[in-house]
Chains A and B, each alone.
Chain A
Amino acid sequence: MAPDKSKPRSILIKGGHVIDPAAKMNAPMDVLLRDGRVAEIAAPNKIRGGADEKFDARGLIVAPGFIDLHVHLREPGQSYKETIATGTAAAAGGGFTSVCTMPNTAPVVDTAEWVTWLRQPERGAVVNVFPIAAATRSSRGAALTDFAALQRAGAVAVTDDGKPILDDDVMRTALQLGAELNLPVVQHAEDTRLTEHCSMHEGPTSFRLGLRGMPAAAEANLVDRDVTLAQQIRESRLHVAHLSTSDALKAVRRGKRAKARVTCEVTPHHFTLLDQDVGEYNTNFKMNPPLRSAADREAILVALADGTVDAIATDHAPHATHEKEVEFERAAFGITGLETALALAISKLHREHKIPLTRIVELFTAGPARVFDLRGRGSLARGNFADVTIFDPKKRWMFEAAKSRSLSHNTPFDGWQFTGKVVATIVGGGFVHRAD
């Protein structure tokens, strides 16, 4: 997507260890990229002929380009928080070659024109941008948007993210329309009737701080309803965004067992942090859904390992300092996440919880590619797009928010020591990021 005239016609990635779960590959391999596609993948030193550029990947993992199903790049309308250019630069730094953008911008992306606008080269994206369009007009939860037109313009799914689709009939109709078009409906599952004025998870910490808490049931009840609808409507596709509670996972499992087309994503902060980490009103730990209880996090870790979760998604939500340096209850919901996702997955999931690297790579590649049918991506099969993420699973480093490529620095992970670092990101056969 990034038309880089200086990019080499071919790159040979030599000496690396390829993990490509979709192709069931987990072995030392060389990879040849040519003209924006994967040209060849073969055992070490078996690729004949030269390449414009050789990349020494010894000691590194070579994976299909990572896909983030859930980012807020804030354009149109909120470019003081982030732009497509800065947000995709942060994505590249975090190893993401494709990001799916949420429509809760100003205005809301609820027309084909805005979907087209997001994909124009003038936006300066350095990774692939796949717009998710609003499911209802202005995301008001009432009148559905023109799904067919949005899909033709390039939308890969519809959602009212930031808000739920609460009304039963609206959700049913959205799933029906989505079923006809093979278009996933993404739900931000929050029964807002139970979360009015709430700013964190309901539990001992919210009580101690005197903050109104969102009960776990506010998420689980809605996921439960949606899964039931998805089971009733043939061929409908439901994707549960940023799932955060144990009970919501139970509903997703029920749907999957019944062979409904139900998928879900989990964020790095929900598998890493707990509600008590809010500490003394630290607004960089305020997001929606909120950080949950230890039992919820435990259930999420199990579901990440056992295959219930389809993808890790960041819910990258940049906000300006003046929107976070305020009273906790008034602070904006959301944290940035593109540059810390892989490091958290390796540090927490792999090293601490012993989830294999192959599974982690699947959660960043084959899993999300399947959720939104991103054809030609999520695997390094020959002929696929030349999107590659190369990382060092053993490299120790410290994340510094001040050095972030994102326009905003609202992260809870500033100063954290990590293991696992992105070394290079290749989009369409060209480097978009190389670690110094």
Chain B
Amino acid sequence: MMHRLNSHAMNKPARGSLLGIEHLEDGEILGLLKLARRMNPLKARPLLRNRRIVLLFYEASTRTRSSFEVAAKSMGAMTILVQSSGSSIEKGESLLDTAYTLRAVGADAIVVRHPSAGAPLLMAQHLDIPVINAGDGMHEHPSQALLDAFTILKHKKSFKSLQIAIIGDIYHSRVARSACHLLSRFGSKVILCGPPELIPDFAATLAPGLRITRHIEEALRGTDVIMLLRVQQERLAGRKIHLQDYMARYQMTTSRLKLAKRDAIVMHPGPIIRGLELTSEVVDGPNSVIVDEVHNGVPTRMAILARALGKAR
């Protein structure tokens, strides 16, 4: 019968690239987490001295951008920030031409955030330097999933037999996709919770063992980890969500939190909207590790950059 030959002239992504969690091997994930535990931005060795790391941001970012920058600089790398406004991207330069330009300038690695799913892969397929995905459209946000895993392991012994509820706007969330790929690998029970508009039935096919519930009580009962997501109103594009109704059914409140295990942790990748997906009391409450997550972003991204540039020892 017919069979396909390898026909595409594109190259494989350079070693050290981090494009998503889905195609990462278990060993690589565990290796990165282990390395992250050894990273300390205040006592970092200059592993990346004289290396040039481009932070190419086509989308707004506070946490991801600043923590990649701190991570790079604390290891002695030079960082170059390129944003869509104020660069040739505004003049209509294509993604690949921008990539070739940055390579020619002398970039040793590119950290890219882009509104289009698959954009980091496209760059990696045409470059000979590592490309790190700092969030691509609704696809993946691997460094966030890694720092979340890092955070969970700081509070829980292992992923095994943890119950993890991911609540909210899964459809638009690259964080949720990466988290599902990562957490379902290591024996956690992952439950997605939200309305059908934000979690279509086929979301359960994303990774093995995912379950969907429309009832927050079911998701919370006996859970160890609660990951909340913002309703991404800027990406809704025609999907109708009644916020009042959403809040009534899915908002994380202190009374709902009581359904979870006493030592459950509440996570949120940010930005948070107080009073929408969660109340202020929950944000600032004893179960919240939201600030901790941001903090853990730096060592996690140090590990990612060290691995990218071959300094992961």
Contacts and interface: CB of A to CB of B under 8 A. Distances in A.
B137 A210 contact: yes
A209 B139 CA distance: 5
A356 interface: no
A204 B5 contact: no
Contacts of B203: 207
A74 B116 CA distance: 28
Interface stretch (B37-45, B65-73, B118-126, B282-290): B118-126
A352 interface: yes
Nearest to A322: B94
Contacts of A419: 2
A364 interface: no
A415 interface: yes
Interface residues of B, number: 35
B116 A329 contact: yes
Interface string B125-139: 010000000001111
Given A280-B121, A351-B1, A327 B202 contact: no
A327 B138 contact: no
Nearest to A281: B118
B202 A207 contact: yes
A212 B206 CA distance: 15
B230 interface: no
Contacts of B171: 207
Nearest to B172: A210
Contacts of B313: none
Given A281-B118, A327-B122, A328-B116, A210 B174 contact: yes
A351 B205 CA distance: 32
B6 interface: yes
Given A204-B205, A210-B136, A210-B140, A418 B2 contact: yes
Contacts of B4: 415-416
A196 B238 contact: yes
B312 interface: no
A330 B116 contact: yes
Interface in A382-420: 398, 401, 414-419
A197 interface: yes
A208 B177 CA distance: 8
Given A204-B202, A280-B121, A327 B95 contact: yes
Interface residues of A, number: 34
Nearest to B137: A210
Contact of B118 (A327, A348, A418): A327
A89 B4 CA distance: 25
A347 interface: yes
Contacts of A295: none
B137 A347 contact: no
B62 interface: no
| A281, A322, A418: most-surrounded residue (chain B CB, <10 A) | A281
A376 interface: no
B175 to A, nearest CB: 11
A326 interface: yes
B47 interface: no
A323 to B, nearest CB: 10
Contacts of A193: 238
Interface string A183-208: 00000000001101100000110011
Given A280-B121, A326-B94, A328-B117, A401 B7 contact: yes
Interface of A: 193-194, 196-197, 203-204, 207-212, 280-282, 322, 325-330, 347-348, 351-352, 398, 401, 414-419
30 contacts: A197-B237, A204-B202, A207-B202, A207-B206, A208-B205, A209-B117, A210-B137, A211-B118, A211-B137, A212-B138, A212-B237, A280-B118, A281-B118, A281-B121, A281-B122, A326-B95, A326-B96, A326-B122, A327-B95, A328-B116, A328-B122, A330-B116, A348-B2, A351-B1, A352-B1, A401-B7, A414-B7, A415-B4, A416-B3, A417-B3
Given A204-B202, A328-B116, A398-B5, 16 more contacts: A193-B238, A197-B237, A209-B117, A209-B139, A210-B137, A210-B138, A212-B138, A280-B118, A281-B122, A325-B126, A326-B96, A327-B95, A327-B114, A327-B117, A414-B7, A418-B2
Interface of B: 1-8, 22, 94-96, 114, 116-119, 121-122, 126, 136-140, 171, 174, 177, 200, 202-203, 205-206, 237-238
